[in-house]
Amino acid sequence: MARLLIGSSLKMYFGHRQTLDWVRAVAAICTEHPATVSGAVEFFVIPTFPSIPAVVEIARPAGIAVGAQDLHWADSGPFTGEVSAAELAELGCTLAEVGHAERRSLFGETDEMVAGKTHAALRHGLAPVECVGEPDQGPAELAVQVCLDQLERALAPARAAGTGGRLIVAYEPVWAIGAPTPAPPEHVRAVCGALREHLRADPLFPDAAVIYGGSAGPGLLPTIVDAVDGMFLGRFAHDPQAVRAVLDEVER
């Protein structure tokens, strides 16, 4: 079975203690579940900054990768409140979420900022979890073009510098984030399939993966698995048993 990448960003839903309880529960599942034990699934978690060191201690023995929800584009400097890719790597992170729609809408992140953060992550060996997605629901063909434009703008500085590495593209249509249900499977399959085709045989990103997020949870994977490399779970994974249910779907 092909390896699938499945994980969750906890955003700011949990406090520190609740985060650790959740990670312990998921680590226990991943330690014994056939999908993770066999290598069919690589699981990851993206907690808030303060919880990262403690989460790494719990997650690493269970084979769970840990990421950060944001990072700065500079390696060091007078940037109050920011965290560099270098420090995240030092703490044990292997992933960094970049360009989420909430960062763009709530905090004014621009394409230039997203591109700088993407390059910073790659410079320090962190796989960018590059979030792309169209703002409004419409034809898949239009969504594909919007996502490809976003992706290539984000990768432009890294491409110019010849900086490659592991890349994870998270397709999250903005209109599906926080919605009662995910985007329709046929839409997800069309957009993710096009993104995968675009990245196929890319010399800088030979192991690029395309995962789907946006109200993703149990029940979705079987309908899209032929067109994605995994799923980016949201609030539907706050119950650790929902994580188990998704892993069960991989086994089935």
- Termini Cα distance of the chain: 11
Are the C-beta atoms of residues 41 and 4 closer than 8 Å to each other? yes
Q: Which of these is catalytic: 100, 119, 124, 187?
A: 100
CA distances from 121 to 55, 83, 92, 113, 196 (A): 20, 11, 13, 12, 21
Q: Which of these is catalytic: 87, 130, 172, 249?
A: 172
**100 carries an active-site annotation:** yes
Give the helix ranges, DSSP H, for 33-69.
34-37, 52-59
**251 carries an active-site annotation:** no
Q: C-alpha 135: how far from its chain's center? A: 18
Q: Strand, helix or coil at 136? A: coil
Look-up of token digits 């993407």: 118
The residues assigned a catalytic role are 100, 172
